[in-house]
Amino acid sequence: MAVRFRAELVLVHIIPAVVQSIPADPAFDFQAPEPYEQALTVSVEERLNAMAQRTSSEVKSRTAIGNGDAADGIVRLAVSEGADLIVIANHGSTGWRHLFFGSVAEKVIRLSDLPVLVVPIKKPE
């Protein structure tokens, strides 16, 4: 699609917030897991860059990394980037997983004013 419409492709990954808030109690000696967050960010950057390298040379692509809730982050980033379309994969979770966690794709559809194209991902057999 990106080749056909001469579109720019922005590959996005939203990293969930590891620490939402740190208690102010001085007796509670908790340190934010910064090394973990840094390592995770580096890993995500490497994966996104590898994906960008596999895209057609006819497609202008770049990467973007956000933090927080996945669905909210995807929608916010799409709006801030001036996107025309959000394309998202759906892993097809069903049963209790879907009941408790929902689907990021489903949440993006509900939150976004932009059109959303959901692409099913087949699980390896």
Sign of the C-alpha dihedral computed for residues 44, 49, 55 and 61 taken in this order: positive
Q: Which two tokens stand for residue 47?
A: 């994966």
Each residue's pLDDT tens digit, 59-95: 999 999 988 899 999 999 999 999 999 999 887 666 6
Is residue 69 within 8 Å of 14, Cβ to Cβ?
yes
The kind and range of the H/E element at 97 are helix 95-101
What pLDDT, on the 0 to 100 scale, is given for residue 20? Answer: 46
| pLDDT exceeds 70 at position 14 | yes
